[in-house]
Chain A
């Protein structure tokens, strides 16, 4: 019962007996009078004054961990404090799994803190591959809170590439945990089959995420990365075809979804497939809702699944554009221009763009946008 164990009252560091041997260092606001004087609240001013003191004396101790945690709770963006905390953890040989658990509690309220995620990466580099798998689960929990959080997605890809790729991915996120030392990544040999399983599960993970929100561009991007660009990607014509089918079904669920149409275009250009291959699929989406019942009547059961739903907003601008590009690609300039005219009308905010597309098509009848 919570009232039996209340949160102890906050004690300023200057009133804590274990800090009595330290002389606080107040903030230097630069030349006086200061250009940008800062009136901190007392709690923060007190804690950071003690931080400056131990920073000068280069103390690494348990009480430094308490102090830095307190400051981070008040201001998760103070990167010097995070770095000092990491150095102290290493100097004390502290159990890093405990730090990871602590961070798991803190992170959900600081999902946009670069520093918090960077700290987590540094911990993982020390803990190694054995901890990486549960980290994927952690990232999924974090995404449940904010499904488009950029930091979480970058972290997830970093985990996959650093710990589950047979060849170290030429990654941009090579972190040196301490100066002059190379990161300690565990030997990744002989684990290929485990790695493959992780990457397969990753595709299923994007399925789950898209079932929650079919418009989440981060998920579509991640799926493309896993299947076509990442270190374990194995693109093949069969894969491209099954992904086209998958995406068509997703478009049928929500036709005005730029993320899915972009993914579809990514698939086609990546595999050098002409856009016109998908004319039969895209056409119905350029027709008004009033014509849809007759399309449904004449469609085979399988085709019917790929037709727009009864509540879809039609005609769909992205489908009009897709067809215009496909026709342009085939040199059917006149037909394409009719669609660009319709786009000017239906998407007036990008009027200049559609008119530009018409002009360039007249000059060189191939789609500049693939």
Chain B
């Protein structure tokens, strides 16, 4: 089996900010804060949290504050949105600096995203998605203010997004998708409402996502992709059913998608690497108990030690670790 190239991956993440000639780079300004969160999370679970300069990262986060709306945009000058707002809060939490944010304004921005139906919008323009339910709920829990929204309605909306195969979609009536299954399962965990899940049916659907080459796909009859190592495994971990798939085959698949020269992990072997697949590949390895990766808490996709310190939900499974 291939080795996990920790040093190469650390260097790859460090180099991301320096790669100024990359043609694709300017296109990702709308994901810049997310990218920093992905990179930082990867560094934390690889045991190198110091690889980025803490004060620089925090200064960048604070420069993305949208003072008109009272939340964070993805890049200085971009409109506020729940996605970069969660990334900002997660970064500050990882550095134990969440006090630097204007909590009161954040809470009112986040709470205002809930719609009368219980769903959540991503910003004031209204696009809704179960991703935004999860993002807002996690952000509010990290701020200690889950009381700011109507939890019953939030649960009811997620319940309406459940499908006949046990999975969840982006909106009511939308097809089950592993990514949406992750956000709904984690959101219900945050709300202490895992009883809403048709657990055997969903876990079976998730196990069915593994393909003969070991990789996982997002929907039936689709291609495997390293990022589903996190979307599928996180949900299986929350349901304590990680053993239902072949973990050795999946570990082999993730490791084979590493770039042995420049570092980083790609969506599948031979493709270009990016920070998104790098962090989710590493998170997958973490849940499968790879000895070189520290524990990730799949409910928040945050390092477990940090989640534990803050008293967050910790009920999930990691392979090779004794279950309480």
Contacts and interface: CB of A to CB of B under 8 A. Distances in A.
A joins B in a complex = yes
A276 interface: no
B220 A157 contact: no
A118 B127 contact: yes
A30 B64 contact: yes
B161 A30 contact: no
Interface in A324-370: 348-353, 356, 368-370
A44 B26 contact: yes
B324 interface: no
Interface stretch (A2-10, A74-82, A93-101): A74-82
B221 A215 contact: yes
Interface in B12-43: 16-17, 20-21, 23, 25-27, 29-32, 35-36
B52 to A, nearest CB: 8
A55 B171 CA distance: 32
Interface string B107-143: 0000000011101000111111110000000000000
A77 B27 contact: yes
A38 B160 contact: no
B221 A36 contact: no
Contacts of B214: 349
Interface string A215-226: 111100110110
Interface in A47-72: 52, 55
A170 B204 CA distance: 29
Given A36-B17, A148-B222, A230-B173, A174 B128 contact: yes
Interface in A252-293: 257-259, 262-263, 265-266, 269-270
Nearest to A83: B125
Contacts of A172: 115, 117, 119, 128-130, 157, 160-161, 171-172
A114 B76 contact: no
Which DSSP category, helix, strand, loop or mixed, fits chain A's interface? helix
A193 interface: no
A80 B78 contact: yes
B247 to A, nearest CB: 9
Contacts of A169: 172
A45 B23 CA distance: 12
A259 B221 contact: yes
Given A83-B125, A216-B221, A221-B176, A173 B171 contact: yes
A194 to B, nearest CB: 21
A189 B21 CA distance: 57
Contacts of B126: 174-177
Interface string B205-223: 1011010101000011110
Contact of A52 (B56, B77, B81, B244): B77
A105 B247 CA distance: 45
B250 to A, nearest CB: 9
A246 interface: no
Contact of B244 (A28, A174, A350): A350
Interface in A1-54: 27-31, 34-41, 44-45, 52
A173 B128 contact: yes
A179 interface: yes
A28 B62 CA distance: 13
Contacts of B127: 114, 118, 121, 173, 175
A231 B125 CA distance: 26
A170 B176 CA distance: 19
Contacts of A77: 27, 30-31
Interface stretch (B162-170, B225-233, B261-269): B162-170
Interface of A: 27-31, 34-41, 44-45, 52, 55, 74-75, 77-80, 83, 114, 118, 121-122, 148, 150, 153-154, 157-158, 161, 169-177, 179, 215-218, 221-222, 224-225, 228-230, 257-259, 262-263, 265-266, 269-270, 348-353, 356, 368-370
Interface of B: 16-17, 20-21, 23, 25-27, 29-32, 35-36, 52-53, 56-57, 59-60, 63-64, 73, 76-79, 81, 115-117, 119, 123-130, 157, 160-161, 163-165, 169-177, 200-201, 204-205, 207-208, 210, 212, 214, 219-222, 243-246, 249
19 contacts: A35-B57, A77-B30, A78-B30, A79-B79, A118-B127, A150-B170, A150-B175, A153-B175, A154-B171, A169-B172, A174-B115, A179-B124, A224-B164, A259-B220, A265-B164, A269-B164, A349-B246, A350-B207, A356-B244
